Chain A
């Protein structure tokens, strides 16, 4: 079984709809991240969390919110989706000791 899972894997939604992307991990890591990837722009950090009570904005947090329900779960919400939020979204985890980040398989989101 995968260590970092994301649901859904693909989603098409309409402008103005609320949508939630979920991430779960079995690695036991305390740190979790949400990134989006657009063609030609690389990965950009949306939000990150160092533990359940710690939530921080990344470089492009506007239009997004997150919830860290447990150490193993980190959800990303788009309160009112807009077309320029169409992208590939990745969740990642790491620890404070082992700095490398482990990524989920991604969620392809299309906002029409």
Chain B
């Protein structure tokens, strides 16, 4: 699976949009971009994923650049409860023999301030 690079930390004001970047310059054509988050010591929580097109769900939006080498997770109206470590993961749906392992990197610590 492709390696990802994220900033170690970011701050955001409550009520504002949080834009979390992720670089994945070695992504291959069949690899998806996934985002998870982990609130301190809780189980990781799935947020969203996409392949080429931008995606939106009730939690967030995912913007993938046309060359697919980077993406941005957008939390449109951040709340204090969105404070967490956010992980960008790139993985193929075809590598089932690897156990569909999720490889979490260092992630980005997002702190939402009042």
Contacts and interface: CB of A to CB of B under 8 A. Distances in A.
B104 A43 contact: yes
Interface string B84-109: 00000000010010011111111000
Q: What interface size band does chain B fall in?
A: 10 to 19
Interface string B32-51: 10100000011111100100
A99 interface: yes
Contact of B44 (A45, A48, A56, A90): A90
Given A99-B93, A100-B34, A100-B49, A59 B43 contact: no
Contacts of B34: 100
A88 B105 CA distance: 16
Given A42-B103, A56-B99, A94-B100, A4 B43 contact: yes
A92 to B, nearest CB: 8
B104 A101 contact: no
A96 B34 CA distance: 16
Given A99-B93, A106-B41, A59 B101 contact: yes
B100 A102 contact: no
Given A100-B34, A100-B49, A42 B42 contact: no
B99 A42 contact: no
